[in-house]
Structure 1
Amino acid sequence: MKNELFSIGPITIYGYGLMIAIGVLAAYFSATYRSKKYALDPDKVFYVTVWAVIGGFGGAKLLYLITQLPAILKDPSLLKDARNGFVVYGGIIGGILAAWLYCKVAKLKFIKYFDLVMPSVALAQGFGRIGCFLAGCCYGKETNSAFHILFHDSAYAPNNVPLIPTQLISSGLDFLNCIFLMWFAGKKKGDGQVAGLYLVCYSVGRFVLEFFRGDLERGNVGSLSTSQFIAIFTAIAGVVLFFWFGKKKAQGPEKNIQEEKVV
């Protein structure tokens, strides 16, 4: 596990950043490829991706700052370092809201693109968690199990201590979620079910995995971590979406409202 992979002159390539970049590209290309099957405009997928990435990073950073608000109020200088500190749930919420806003402005049916991109979001998260593994963040609790990892030069995780490999477990769950959602997309009864199922699967997995996390910079709401608290509501929202849209038949190819007027 090494976050600083290599350097090219004054430029250092970090494992975390590289995995995030790979994840974003993998998400974009997979969504673009699948858009043809569902008769959606690949060009629109590009803009949905851009907006979702911007909103995702902004939301992830904002939620992190909220969880760290007490510490920031005591020491405002913590705001100077913008490199570290992201909460995945903030990224999911921010990305969805940004994509919805773009679809509203572009007069696109958001729910169809929502279904299309969520398996790709799970794919991106799988790569992102590998980045967490390389950096040593989001680490697990100390364990006596043979199934553990040791960090030797991490700026985040305790070094030379056997830890539960929560990053790799999370990555594996994300990849499985991606595969499952892509399979289910061909069997859905209505647009919106894939997105709802993503929220349920991710929320349940995240809620359970949080019990095995050892990092403390995640905030809490009572006895639950911030992510566990949010997971309860996103899981409920996912269940509602799944059954609500299950009553509606999946619609045909997407048509831009402006194009329909021209025709």
Structure 2
Amino acid sequence: MIHYPAIDPIIFAIGPFAVRWYGLMYVLGFTAAYLLVRRQAKQFGWQQMLEQLDNLNLALIVGVILGGRFGYVLFYNLPYYLEHPQHIFATWEGGMSFHGGVIGVLLAGLLFCGRTKLDFWKTADSYTVTVPIGLGLGRIGNFLNGELYGRVTEVPWSMVFPGGGELPRHPSQLYEALLEGLVLFCILWPLRAKPWIKQWPHGSLLALFLILYGTFRWLIEFFREPDPQLGLLLFGLSMGQLLCAAMIAAGLLLYGILRKQQQNT
């Protein structure tokens, strides 16, 4: 067993204002996405995207935050929030859903691109290859907060988390940071520049992301402690696994549709 490095989730505080590690990870993730999308736009000569990038980034940030919050309310704790609707927007109490964030950011992107006449699929691909950075950082933030820990285990690298009782658990946040963050980035980022990728229809990298992330997360959920208010659901799977199964199916369906459209043009 490895000693859990209990780190204060607050970096510093000035009166009621506090800067937290988890919030910093969000900022770093959004900043990395902005800079890397800007780099791609310059590299490939997407002048219109460069002109709209600041407003687009703001719209996507709003989309991912609102989608993440409403996704958590809907997927993970709807009965509670129906009884306590005043807490729906209390994000400081915790509760964000990645799958809800995906829906929110896609809707925000669709609306923004439709209004500005940006190519949605090209825009989606350019952002998709940067997303794993934010995912990896976010999971490190979860680890520092001592939240979303894994199931009880006896593996040598297990840890006792402050909120997880006295038994050692999988540091599943680090598994997710590795697979959903580092590994996924190492797949998607180089792939965008491969000459043969130009033969794929725009939107294919988004479809691939949905499939790969869904697969990685589905596997890691076997090591992650299910949400206490839900436990295990259909076929002994967690809510995260059920949502990931839908995510994988959506990715496969999306690629099939895009490929068919490409063949018909």
TM over 0.5, shorter chain: yes
Q: Does 1:115 align with 2:125?
A: yes
Shift of 1:246: 4.6
User: Secondary structure of the residue that 2:148 maps to in structure 1?
Assistant: coil
User: Secondary structure of the residue that 2:153 maps to in structure 1?
Assistant: coil
Q: Does 1:99 align with 2:105?
A: no
C-alpha distance in structure 1 between counterparts of 2:209 and 2:119, whole Å: 19
C-alpha distance in structure 2 between counterparts of 1:21 and 1:215, whole Å: 27
Shift of 1:78: 4.6
C-alpha distance in structure 1 between counterparts of 2:29 and 2:228, whole Å: 24
Residue 181 of structure 1 corresponds to 188
Q: Summarize the Cα distance change of 1:122–1:75 in structure 2 as closer, same or farther, 3 Å threshold.
A: same
Residues 60 and 86, structure 1, Cα contact 8 Å, conserved in 2: yes
Q: Summarize the Cα distance change of 1:160–1:31 in structure 2 as closer, same or farther, 3 Å threshold.
A: farther
In terms of mean alpha carbon deviation, does 212-221 or 25-34 score higher?
212-221
Deviation string for 1:33-62 (max 9, x for gaps)?
A: 122222223232332221111111111111
Residue 147 of structure 2 corresponds to 137
Q: Does 1:27 align with 2:33?
A: yes
Residue 205 of structure 1 corresponds to 216
Residues 68 and 217, structure 1, Cα contact 8 Å, conserved in 2: no
Residue 81 of structure 2 corresponds to 72
Residue 17 of structure 1 corresponds to 23
User: Normalising by the residue count of structure 1, what TM-score does the alignment of the two structures yield?
Assistant: 0.84
| RMSD of aligned residue pairs (Cα, Å) | 2.2
Q: Summarize the Cα distance change of 1:76–1:92 in structure 2 as closer, same or farther, 3 Å threshold.
A: closer
Q: Summarize the Cα distance change of 1:213–1:115 in structure 2 as closer, same or farther, 3 Å threshold.
A: same
C-alpha distance in structure 2 between counterparts of 1:160 and 1:31, whole Å: 44
Shift of 1:147: 1.8
Q: Summarize the Cα distance change of 1:44–1:175 in structure 2 as closer, same or farther, 3 Å threshold.
A: farther
C-alpha distance in structure 2 between counterparts of 1:217 and 1:55, whole Å: 27
Shift of 1:104: 0.4
C-alpha distance in structure 2 between counterparts of 1:176 and 1:196, whole Å: 17
Deviation string for 1:118-170 (max 9, x for gaps)?
A: 01112111111111111122111111111223334xxxx31553211111111
Equivalent AA in structure 1 for residue 119 of structure 2: K
In terms of mean alpha carbon deviation, does 42-51 or 227-236 score higher?
42-51
Deviation string for 1:144-200 (max 9, x for gaps)?
A: 111223334xxxx31553211111111111221122111211232221111111000
C-alpha distance in structure 2 between counterparts of 1:206 and 1:8, whole Å: 37
Residue 51 of structure 2 corresponds to 43
Q: Which of 161, 170, 174 pairs up with 2:176? A: 170
Q: Summarize the Cα distance change of 1:94–1:76 in structure 2 as closer, same or farther, 3 Å threshold.
A: closer
Q: For this pair of structures, how many residues does the alignment match? A: 245
C-alpha distance in structure 1 between counterparts of 2:228 and 2:111, whole Å: 31
User: Secondary structure of the residue that 1:102 maps to in structure 2?
Assistant: helix
Equivalent AA in structure 2 for residue 55 of structure 1: G
Q: Does 1:227 align with 2:240?
A: yes
C-alpha distance in structure 2 between counterparts of 1:177 and 1:107, whole Å: 30
Residue 3 of structure 2 corresponds to none
C-alpha distance in structure 2 between counterparts of 1:55 and 1:218, whole Å: 26
Equivalent AA in structure 1 for residue 190 of structure 2: W
Equivalent AA in structure 2 for residue 96 of structure 1: L
User: Normalising by the residue count of structure 2, what TM-score does the alignment of the two structures yield?
Assistant: 0.84
Which runs of 5 or more structure 1 residues have no equivalent in the other structure?
250-263
Residues 69 and 89, structure 2, Cα contact 8 Å, conserved in 1: no
C-alpha distance in structure 2 between counterparts of 1:80 and 1:90, whole Å: 14
C-alpha distance in structure 2 between counterparts of 1:96 and 1:140, whole Å: 29
C-alpha distance in structure 2 between counterparts of 1:185 and 1:80, whole Å: 37
